[in-house]
């Protein structure tokens, strides 16, 4: 069960909470109401600071919150370059270029944000409505931040299933990027809270093999798949080459025009 709880005080938040709850098909609760009955419930908090998600049984932890203005993301943004960032090298991003990249598994948006920081134009797909909500909120807040507005202008978020989108898409991306969720994912690839969020709410990308097969027919230049270091190739399709980092590997499939 998932419920949405708006912050106390402020009619606009309550109005928005009702709109979001109706869109997602969930209930709205209020601070103080049935608080002790929500122990085993996933809670979406709506506050003036943004939207976050609290997982069941983790009331002692901070809710999951996407913030492109966080000190961690700001540090990475300021210190990133096409040479330093392995993901930038994997997608073939060069300084001064603005390729169109389709991220079929947006997740919490970190990879797309860094690629957009380095100049790429990103179309992000997220099919899970709750993860999409977190991303939507994060991008909205970032668009009002002078430090980030020009970056997020290059980021478009679409709620869509990747297989269906690839079948009908009107765009032709230069690069298609995939970071599918699997049981064998390295423990260092996501922190524990993020891992639980994707397993309990988003599930696993069991159709990733189908997405890769379609992506190989849709990308102009390359398809890049992020994988745990020691895992098998996705769907046993051998890439042209791979790049290895400290906690992950990028398999690169070059498209021969």
Task: Tell me the per-residue pLDDT of 198-237, one tens digit each, with 9 for 90 and over.
Answer: 666 666 667 899 999 999 999 999 999 999 888 999 999 9
Give the pLDDT band (50/70/90) at residue 58.
low
Q: Can you give the pTM of this predicted structure? A: 0.89
Task: Tell me the per-residue pLDDT of 163-173, one tens digit each, with 9 for 90 and over.
Answer: 999 999 988 99
Does residue 170 sit in helix, strand or coil?
A: coil
CA-CA distance, 185 to 75, in Å (whole number)?
A: 26
In sequence order, what E strands does the chain have? 2-6, 27-28, 42-47, 50-54, 100-103, 121-125, 155-158, 175-178, 222-228, 241-244, 248-254
How far does Cα 194 stand from its chain's mean position? 11
Set out the domains of the chain in order of their start, with CATH numbers: 2-54 (no CATH), 71-254 (3.40.50.150)
């Amino acid at each position: 069960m998932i419920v949405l709880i708006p912050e106390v005080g402020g009619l606009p938040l309550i109005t928005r909470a009702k709109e979001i709850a109706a869109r997602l098909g969930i209930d709205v609760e209020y601070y103080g109401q049935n608080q002790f009955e929500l122990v085993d419930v996933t809670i979406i908090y709506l506050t003036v600071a943004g939207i976050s998600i609290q997982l069941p049984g983790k009331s002692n932890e901070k809710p999951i919150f996407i913030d492109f203005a966080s000190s961690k993301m700001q540090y990475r943004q300021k210190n990133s370059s096409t040479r330093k960032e392995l993901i930038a090298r994997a997608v073939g991003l060069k300084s001064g270029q603005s390729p169109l990249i389709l991220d079929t598994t947006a997740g919490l948006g970190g990879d797309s944000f860094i690629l957009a920081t380095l100049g790429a134009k990103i179309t992000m797909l997220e099919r899970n409505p709750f993860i999409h909500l977190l991303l939507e909120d994060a991008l909205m807040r970032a668009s009002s931040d002078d430090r980030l507005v020009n970056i997020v202008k290059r980021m478009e978020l679409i709620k869509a299933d990747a297989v269906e989108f690839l079948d009908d898409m009107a765009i032709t991306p230069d690069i298609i990027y995939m970071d599918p969720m699997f049981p064998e994912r390295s423990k260092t690839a996501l922190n524990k809270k993020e891992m639980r969020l994707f397993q309990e709410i988003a599930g696993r990308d069991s159709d990733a093999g189908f997405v890769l097969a379609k992506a190989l027919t849709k990308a102009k230049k390359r398809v890049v798949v992020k994988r745990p270091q020691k895992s098998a190739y996705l769907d046993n399709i051998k890439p042209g080459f791979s790049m290895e980092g400290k906690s992950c590997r990028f398999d690169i499939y070059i498209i021969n025009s």
